[in-house]
């Protein structure tokens, strides 16, 4: 298997971090602009592995060492997501005939079914303070947005509408609002916002795509971004103000999808099918200075930033099956972390 991809991106996306002793704040460090990076030392990557017989949640370090199976269960465990403080992992698990949201410690201990729903619970999103989760519960097109504490207490149905799907919740950076998608009969999906307790629901802000093209807040909270498309592979990343004004196409027919903001909001990465296979791109926050980071003829998807924004993790089938790869933005080197015959996917850092 290929372990590395040569120097093919010289000079692109150089993340200039000046880490000074005076800028230290516990486990966070400030750059020369004053932004506090959520750096967590040797923060591990979490991902899901499907062997065909089992689906479990793993962690692995960025150099490929210390791979660990955290769930090791007979259930199907998928879609892991680190809490912002990197102390817990929320994931989706098939239990008692339905998908549920579970939370465990970073070492796999103290796993709790926090949703405990009577229907499928999916699409979990952590609150910025790592204390709560928002998620969707429902089936056959009828979904509601719920919240729950990370220990499984205080479950609340925020939307409580049994006639249409309310899906893909996303917390605002200050934790006071949740953006989500809701379906209007005969018109399609639209993005809405509401307060974190379910009050003050906005008017529909803008038409959206549904599914996993849902909203994400820019890290400064000033914009809501989302993907919208006109055919199976033709998507772009858009932004709007939280009041629905100022819509702007950020990728302009570069077919952007599955995007992720850099922690300081200066750039975002995304996957695009524009070259014929899925490739990973990065662009400035306004859509300028777009760079293609992967150029191997394969599907390179699900990009996520490292906490210090020096690397990007993604999944790729370039070696015949899906593996977890890391791209070092300083050196342009790509490393296959997992090198396993199983299907490794949906990494989060």
Q: Where is average pLDDT lowest: 183-187, 196-200, 307-311, 320-324?
A: 183-187
> What confidence category does residue 135 fall into, taking pLDDT thresholds of 50, 70 and 90?
very high
Tokens for 3, please give them: 């372990």
Distance CA 27, CA 305 (A): 18
Do 179 and 169 meet the contact criterion of CB atoms below 8 Å apart? yes
> Each residue of 306-322: pLDDT tens digit?
999 999 999 999 999 99
Mean pLDDT (the chain, rounded):
88
Query: 13 φ, ψ to 5°?
Result: 50, 55
Number of CB atoms found within 10 A of residue 109's CB: 8
Q: Is 251 left (phi over 0), alpha (psi -120 to 50) or beta?
A: alpha
Q: Where is average pLDDT lowest: 7-21, 127-141, 277-291, 327-341?
A: 7-21
Cβ within 8 Å of residue 21, ≥6 positions away: none
pLDDT at residue 32, as a whole number: 53
pLDDT at residue 1, as a whole number: 45
Average pLDDT over residues 232-243: 87
Angle ∠(43,222,157) on CA atoms, nearest 5: 75
Query: 88 φ, ψ to 5°?
Result: -135, 160
Number of CB atoms found within 10 A of residue 160's CB: 11
Beta-sheet pairing, 120-126 with 112-113: unpaired
pLDDT at residue 232, as a whole number: 59
Q: Is the pLDDT of residue 257 over 60?
A: yes
pLDDT at residue 258, as a whole number: 87
Q: Is the pLDDT of residue 234 over 80?
A: no
Superfamily of domain 1-42+218-349: TolB, C-terminal domain (2.120.10.30)
Do 135 and 125 meet the contact criterion of CB atoms below 8 Å apart? yes
Residue spans in the chain of domains classed CATH 2.120.10.30: 1-42+218-349, 75-208
> What confidence category does residue 9 fall into, taking pLDDT thresholds of 50, 70 and 90?
very low
pLDDT at residue 8, as a whole number: 38
Average pLDDT over residues 282-301: 95
Q: Is the pLDDT of residue 26 over 80?
A: no
Do 237 and 256 meet the contact criterion of CB atoms below 8 Å apart? yes
Tokens for 50, please give them: 């499907």
Cα 252 to Cα 229, 234, 235, 249, 290: the distances in Å are 11, 10, 9, 6, 11
Do 207 and 218 meet the contact criterion of CB atoms below 8 Å apart? no
pLDDT at residue 30, as a whole number: 53
pLDDT at residue 34, as a whole number: 56
> Each residue of 326-349: pLDDT tens digit?
999 999 999 999 999 999 999 999
> Each residue of 53-85: pLDDT tens digit?
899 999 999 999 999 999 999 899 999 999 999
pLDDT at residue 306, as a whole number: 96
Distance CA 251, CA 273 (A): 12
Q: Which CATH architecture has domain 75-208?
A: 6 Propeller (2.120)
Cα 324 to Cα 84, 168, 303: the distances in Å are 21, 25, 10
Distance CA 240, CA 312 (A): 26
């Amino acid at each position: 298997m290929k372990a590395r991809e040569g120097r093919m991106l010289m000079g692109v996306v150089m993340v200039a971090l000046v880490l000074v002793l005076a800028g230290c704040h516990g486990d966070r460090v400030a750059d020369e602009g004053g932004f506090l990076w959520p750096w967590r030392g040797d923060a591990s990557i979490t991902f899901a592995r499907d062997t065909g017989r089992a689906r479990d949640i793993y962690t692995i370090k960025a150099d490929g060492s210390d791979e660990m199976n955290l769930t090791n269960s007979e259930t199907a465990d998928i879609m892991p997501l680190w809490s912002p403080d990197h102390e817990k992992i929320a994931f989706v698990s098939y239990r008692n005939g339905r998908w549920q949201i579970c939370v465990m410690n970073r070492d796999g201990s103290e796993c709790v079914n926090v949703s405990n729903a009577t229907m499928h619970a999916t699409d979990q999103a952590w609150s910025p303070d790592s204390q709560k989760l928002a998620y969707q519960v429902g089936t056959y097109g009828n979904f509601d947005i719920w919240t729950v504490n990370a220990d499984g207490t205080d479950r609340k149905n925020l939307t409580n509408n049994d006639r249409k799907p309310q899906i893909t919740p996303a917390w605002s950076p200050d934790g006071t609002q949740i953006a989500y998608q809701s379906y209007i009969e005969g018109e399609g999906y639209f993005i809405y916002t509401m307060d974190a307790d379910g009050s003050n629901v906005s008017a529909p802000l803008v038409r959206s795509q549904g599914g996993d093209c849902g909203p994400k807040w820019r890290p400064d909270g000033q914009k809501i971004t989302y993907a919208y498309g006109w055919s199976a592979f033709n998507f772009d990343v858009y932004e709007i103000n939280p009041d629905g004004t100022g819509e702007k196409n950020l990728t302009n027919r570069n077919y952007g999808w599955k995007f992720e903001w850099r922690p300081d909001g200066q750039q975002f990465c995304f996957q695009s099918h524009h070259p014929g296979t899925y490739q990973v791109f990065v662009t400035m926050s306004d859509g300028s200075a777009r760079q293609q980071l992967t150029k191997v003829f394969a599907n390179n998807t699900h990009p996520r930033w490292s906490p210090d924004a020096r690397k990007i993790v993604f999944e790729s089938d370039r070696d015949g099956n899906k593996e977890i790869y890391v791209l070092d933005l300083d050196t342009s080197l790509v490393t296959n972390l997992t090198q396993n015959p199983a299907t490794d996917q949906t990494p989060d850092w």
